[in-house]
A and B are shown apart, each in its own frame.
Chain A
Amino acid sequence: MKKFLTRLFLFGIVLFCTDRAVGLIMSHLEQNAKGGVTHSNYYILNELKDDVLIFGSSRCVHHYIPEIIQDSLKMSCYNCGTDGNGIIMMYGMYKCILERYTPKVVVYELYANFDFGKGDNSRYLKILRRLYNHPGIDSIVWSVDQSERYKLLSEMYRYNGGWMQMLADNIKPMNDTYNGYMPYYGEMNTEHSQEPNKATEYVLDSLKIHYLKKLIEECRSSGTKLIFALSPCYTTSAYKDFEFAIKIAKDYDVPLIDYFCDTTFTKHPEYFYDHVHMNDTGARLYSSLFSSELKKILYECFNNNCKE
């Protein structure tokens, strides 16, 4: 057994050295990405200085065009949305940004699944793991999974699932963004795709709700004006999933810009890429409508000397 344990120990040492070496390479790739999501995330966390930030999931990434919004508001704007992510990741991102400066306005595009519906929250840790050393991030990571404090001793684990993207963004970035906005081109095919007929029943996730409330409180205390938004969907069957979002916006007095069931967009395939994402044409129209709505809210707010 002595021989067996010795070999196991030696393998552990080799693995430890490899782990550190891979960690250094990954860190270099992250900091020197030429474009793509890696560069975008690095920019948001380390260089961003814009007034209006838009947070949310893929619906945020593909629906909000910062150029249109900043032309309308005369304030600089950046789309910080991240595919497949929600409040847990976004709250962490806001905390990191607050370390450097306080944005004037944060627009949060809500999505039931990612922001208050129950599910496996560890999926939202992918980017947060890389930010583990930033103040306040460790407690978010631990609140999702206590064992992460031990797992994150490994550098390779920190970059789990993301290294391929980082490598690609260093060699030839495939998805270039326009201030964080990523357009979808092409119209949805309605010929074969049927509308999802099952209304999803959401069980509320207490952890996500906790961070949603924390974001509201943090914005209030730091002086960022928070606005919730619901961008259009091809069909309206999922609207009832957002009852909780509407309630929380009302309870905490957060303005909500709701275009989810707007008939300008619904059942208009020319504005959609698929059932939940708009194409570039839809995003342009929505961004201009949204920015004028946002302008009104901000005008009222600043005229009333809003404290938030």
Chain B
Amino acid sequence: MLFNSFQFIWLFPIIFIGYYLICSFTKCSYSRWDNYTLLLISYLLYAQWKPVFVIVLLWVTLITYIGGRLLINVKYKWILSACLCLAVAPLIFFKYYGFINETICSLVGYSISLKGLNWAIPIGLSFYTFQAIGYVVDVYYKRVEPEKNWWDYMLFVSFFPQILSGPISKATDLLPQIKSRRVFNDKIASEGLKLLLWGCFLKVVMADQLGQYVDTIYGAYSLQSGATCAIGAICYSFQIYGDFAGYSLMAVGTGKIMGFDLINNFNRPYFAPTITEFWKRWHISLTQWLTKCIYIPLGGSRCSKIRSYLNIMITFLVSGLWHGANWTFVIWGAIHGALQIIEKYMGIQKFVSSNRFMYLLRVGFTFSLVTLAWVFFRMPTLTDALGFIRQICINHDMSVLNPGNSISFFCLSSLMLVILVELKQEFMAGKFMFIHSNSMIVRWLSYLFLTVFILLAGIFDSSNFIYVSF
């Protein structure tokens, strides 16, 4: 169930009411009927994509659960390795098999190539596999106690608001919440609804309107002017932000309504003055996972400088590969890795300036680098990515493709609104509170404005979230 689908609008209220009715009827019972209900809902919603996907979900859950149990009071690396290999096997099989096969074939020179399985990737596989692996690694390093209750652990891996596209929750955050008794909280639920509304605006209005323009440009970049391609690249930066941050906010909002506090995945990433800072603000849960499960086990920064740089590069290559089995993602990861190494080498990431102009200059420069890297992320092949950048550099035609007056207006107005809101949050926290205002009239007018904007300018074709395909 996608948050921008019609199904969510009618099904979620039923889930909400049903869940809290069960919570209130069974609050004196020793059995956790609320968790069983959530587990059943999560599995049913997951199975509706393709029932057979449930087998993969169960496999990853079972392997990591057993792995966790086997690591009680022991710290055998072979158990951890075996568990990780078995848990990650479906991911390799479905997502990377085709890529590995093609790469080997092209290296060896054989023309025999078996058909890849990318078409059959169980939805959300990368997300829940990483969440489950994170749990085993935490158990191994004694950061968390191995979970005894199988049902609670099942819910931890399959919790419906986050299974499709994260955030990748830590066992230390989510498992205690699953175990505790949850009661409906008026304020938290209202907060959840606000996040749902704002997330919906980011996705359905800003990201999807920009997406129409971006698709036209990227789809036929060779026919576009350099200026159009440059604007298309900038628009894609905002599209992917609106798309993924929108999803994450809706997941966090849904979680809050159900009584859970999920990790916030984004913190105004395009205000980052450095690439290092960008990764502390973008897809925070993945950054934390990569740090915990890749960077630190490799030695982190507590080793020689060269080794530390190598660790950064490996971590970002894994991040690139996690996003997709394609060389474009590897190059995207390598660009971010290289930029972070340069920043570390030059000490840029530690440089703090009180000069506002200098800060904005650095923000602009970082945004340009991130935007350039997104071209590799967006394009299907390296040739296309390089062709797109070439078009920006050599085609000096300054004419800009007009996507139509309505699309231009919706893109610009939604973009301006998001930028203003984020500027306010970044530099004027506590001022001009609209959906958080103390005045009920201001609050309600803000809700109404956003809802009307969504209904009049949103795109409701249930388009997929970009990150769901990862």
Q: Contact residues of A with B, CB < 8 Å? A: 1, 3-4, 7-8, 11, 14-15, 18-19, 22, 83, 120, 122-123, 147, 150-151, 154, 156-157, 159-165, 168, 174, 189, 191-196, 274-275
Contacts and interface: CB of A to CB of B under 8 A. Distances in A.
Given A22-B456, A161-B459, A3 B222 contact: no
Interface of B: 6, 10, 20, 184, 186, 189-190, 193, 220, 222-226, 391, 394-395, 397, 404-406, 409-410, 444, 447-448, 451-452, 455-461, 463
A161 to B, nearest CB: 6
Given A195-B222, A274-B223, 13 more contacts: A14-B444, A147-B6, A150-B10, A151-B460, A156-B456, A160-B456, A164-B409, A165-B405, A189-B225, A191-B397, A193-B223, A196-B222, A196-B223
29 contacts: A1-B20, A4-B184, A4-B186, A4-B189, A7-B190, A8-B193, A11-B447, A11-B448, A14-B444, A15-B448, A18-B452, A22-B452, A120-B463, A122-B460, A150-B6, A154-B455, A156-B455, A160-B458, A160-B460, A161-B406, A162-B406, A164-B405, A174-B405, A192-B225, A192-B394, A192-B395, A192-B397, A194-B223, A275-B223
A212 to B, nearest CB: 22
A65 B190 CA distance: 57
Shortest beta-carbon contacts, A-B, top 4: A156-B455, A147-B6, A194-B222, A192-B395
Contacts of B6: 147, 150-151
Contact of B451 (A15, A150, A165): A15
Contacts of A14: 444, 448
Given A11-B447, A164-B405, A189-B397, A120 B410 contact: no
Contacts, number: 81
Contacts of B404: 83
Contacts of B186: 1, 3-4
B73 to A, nearest CB: 44
Residue of B222, B223, B459 contacting most chain A CB atoms (<10 Å): B223
Contacts of A165: 405-406
Contacts of A3: 186
A123 B391 CA distance: 30
Contacts of B226: 192
A275 B224 CA distance: 11
B151 to A, nearest CB: 26
A274 B391 CA distance: 17
Contacts of A168: 405
Given A151-B6, A193-B222, A194-B222, A156 B406 contact: no
Contacts of B220: 196
Given A1-B184, A160-B456, A164-B409, A18 B222 contact: no
A300 B10 CA distance: 57
Contacts of A195: 222
B358 to A, nearest CB: 37
A256 B258 CA distance: 60
Contacts of B406: 161-162, 164-165
Given A161-B406, A161-B459, A156 B223 contact: no
Given A150-B6, A174-B405, A189-B397, A160 B223 contact: no
Contacts of A120: 461, 463
Nearest to A275: B223
Contact of B452 (A151, A156, A161, A164): A156
Nearest to B6: A147
Contacts of A164: 405-406, 409-410, 457
Contacts of B391: 192
Contact of B455 (A7, A122, A160, A193): A160
B188 to A, nearest CB: 10
A123 B461 contact: yes
A189 B395 CA distance: 11
Contacts of B224: 193
A196 B193 CA distance: 46
A143 to B, nearest CB: 15
